[in-house]
A and B are shown apart, each in its own frame.
Chain A
Amino acid sequence: MDTAYLIETVIKVVVLLLVFSALAGIGTYFERKILAFMQRRLGPMNVGPFGLLQVGADGIKLFTKEDIIPTHVVAPIFKIAPVITAATAFMAAAAIPFLPQFTIFGYTVHPIIADINVGILYVLGVMAVGLFGPMLGGMASANKFSLLSAARAAAVFISYEVVSGLAVLAPIMMVGSLSLVDFNEYQAGGIGSWIVWSQPVAFVLFWIAAFAETGRTPFHLIANDHEIIDGFGTEYSGMRWGLFFIGEYANMFFISFVIPLIFLGGFGDGSVLGAFALLGKMAFFFFFFLWTRAAWPDVRPDQLMWLCWKVLMPLAVINVVITGLVMMF
C-alpha cells in the first residue's frame, strides 16, 4: 500500500465528511424554503439575505446548547445512539461513486473512497445499520414516547429492508455485478440504456423503500410530531439531537445519489456533462423527498407494514421471477 494512495484516501474522506456535513445543514434550509413555498409562506427570512445564514444560526444554537443527560436514561447507550446514525450514514458513502474520474494536475482521481466489489450491498447494509440510532436512542431514553418510536423503528426496519433488497435484486441480475461503478458502465450508452426502462417496477419499489429507509414523510412515523412528540429525539438536546439530523439529511443525499446510479444512468459516459447530470438527478430526488413531505399525509405503522409485506414484497418477488425468466429464455 503506497503512501500516495493513503494520502489520497484520507483527503477524499475529509472532503466527503466536510461537504456532506455542510450539505446536511444547507439541506435543512432547502427543506424549510421549499416547504414554505408550497405552503405559501416565506420561510426563514430574517438571518442574512433570504435567510441564508439561518443554517449558521442553527449550528451555533445546537453547538452551544447544554448537553443534558436525563437521570433515568441508560447513559452510555443514550450517548452513543446519535453517533451511530451520523457515523453509519457517512460510512455507507464510502462505496458510492459521486462523480466520474477526472484528472487534476496530471493525477487521476477516482471520486469513490473504496471501489469494493459489493458496493450496492455494502451501501444498503450500512445505511440500514443507521436505524439502530433511533431505536437505541428511543429504548435508552426511559420515556414512553421514545419507546413507542423505538418499536416503530424496529417495525419499519424489518418491513422495508426486504422490499429494498428484493427490488434491487432484479437490476443486479441484469448487470451481473454488485459494484455501483459497473452499474454505471452498464448504462453508459445514454438514456436508451437506462435500467429504469427495463425495470420500472424495481425502480418504483426501491424509491418507496428509500422513503422508509430515510424515514421521510409518508413513512415519517418514527418521529411523528403530532403523535409521539419527537419520538426518539424527545429527551435529546443540543448537538446530540443535531447528530440525528445530520445523519438523516446525509442519508437523504446519499440515497439520492444511489437511486440514479442504479436506475437512471448515473454519470453516464463520464464526461463533464454526465457529472452535472448526476448532480441534477440527485437534486431532483432530494427535492422529491421535500415535495412529498409537503404533499402527503403520514401513514400509520400498521399501514406501512401492510404495504411492505402484503403489497410491495410480493410485487418485488414477482418482478425478480419475471426478470429471471426473461433472462433465461
Chain B
Amino acid sequence: MFEAIAFYLFAFLTIAMFYIVVTTSQALYALSALAAGMIFISAFFFILNADFLGAIQIIVYTGAVMALYAFGMMFFDTTREVKEKKGNKFIIVGMSALAAALVVAIFAAPMLSTNIVALYPSSADIGNTQEVGMVLFTKYLIPFELAAVMLLVAMVAGIVLAGKKMDNSITLEDDTNEKVLS
C-alpha cells in the first residue's frame, strides 16, 4: 500500500514539476522545477529497490542542474519574465499528447505481450550496487566505455577552447587597468 501511495504521489509531483518547466516563462521557476522533478524521479528508483541508481540520480542531476543555473545566471535576469514567442497552443498540446501516447505505447507493448526476459536476473545474495556493476561491465561494456571516451573528448575540447588564456589573470592585466583608469 505504501508503495502505491508513494508511486502516485511522486508520479503526480514529477509530472507537475515538468509541466511547470515547459510552460513557465520565468527562468528561475523553470530551473527550480527541473531540479525538483529530477530529484523526485529518484523516488521511483527507491520504490523499485534500486537504491544505487536512486542515489546516483540525485547526485548527478543536482550537479547538472547546478551547471544550468550558472548558465541561467549568465544569460537572463532571473527575477524577470522572459518574453517568448508563442505558437499555436493547440498544436503544442496535440503534439505533446501524441508524443506521450507514443512513449506509453513503446514501453507498454513488450509488457503486454510478455516478451521481456531478464538476461541477467537479479539474485538475492548480491547487492543492488554490485548488480549494476556486473551488468555495466558485461552487457553494456561497449556503450559504457564509448560514453566515457565521448565525455573525455568533450572535456579536452572544452579545455582547449576555453583555456587559451587561463594563466593570465584578468584583474592583473595591465592594459585593462589602464583602460579603466583612463
A residues adjacent to B (C-beta < 8 A): 1, 72-74, 76-77, 80, 116-118, 121-122, 124-126, 128-129, 131-132, 135-136, 139-140, 142, 147, 150-151, 154-155, 157-158, 161, 165, 177-178
Knowing that A76-B29, A122-B51 touch, tell me 17 more A-B residue pairs with CB under 8 angstroms: A72-B79, A73-B79, A80-B32, A118-B128, A118-B129, A122-B54, A122-B55, A125-B55, A132-B35, A139-B69, A139-B73, A154-B67, A154-B69, A154-B73, A158-B67, A161-B59, A178-B129
Q: Which of B2, B39, B51, B73 makes the CB contact (< 8 A) with A129?
A: B39
Known: A77-B29, A140-B28. A135 touches B52 (CB 8 A): no
Query: Can you show 7 pairs from A to B with CB atoms below 8 A apart?
Result: A122-B51, A125-B55, A125-B58, A154-B70, A155-B70, A157-B63, A158-B70
Q: Which of A139, A151, A154, A158 makes the CB contact (< 8 A) with B28?
A: A139
CB interface residues, B 21-71, toward A, < 8 Å = 26, 28-29, 32, 35, 39, 51-52, 54-56, 58-59, 62-63, 66-67, 69-70
A-B contact count (CB 8 A): 88
B35 to chain A, nearest CB (A): 6
Report the separation of the CA atoms of residues A77 and B78 in the bound assembly, to the nearest whole angstrom: 11
Per the CB 8 Å criterion, the residue count for chain B at the interface is 27
Say whether B127 faces chain A, with CB atoms less than 8 Å apart.
yes
Cβ contacts under 8 Å, A126 to chain B: 58
Report the separation of the CA atoms of residues A1 and B66 in the bound assembly, to the nearest whole angstrom: 37
B79 to chain A, nearest CB (A): 5
Cβ contacts under 8 Å, A142 to chain B: 79
A160 to chain B, nearest CB (A): 11
CB-based closest 6 A-B pairs: A121-B55, A125-B59, A125-B58, A118-B55, A118-B51, A142-B79
Which residue of A has the minimal Cβ distance to B2? A1
Cβ contacts under 8 Å, A161 to chain B: 59, 63
Report the separation of the CA atoms of residues A1 and B129 in the bound assembly, to the nearest whole angstrom: 24
Residue pair A121, B59 in contact (C-beta under 8 Å):
yes
Q: Which of B2, B39, B66 makes the CB contact (< 8 A) with A135?
A: B66
Known: A1-B2, A117-B129. A139 touches B78 (CB 8 A): yes
Residue pair B62, A132 in contact (C-beta under 8 Å):
yes
Residue pair B32, A77 in contact (C-beta under 8 Å):
yes
CB interface residues, B 78-126, toward A, < 8 Å = 78-79
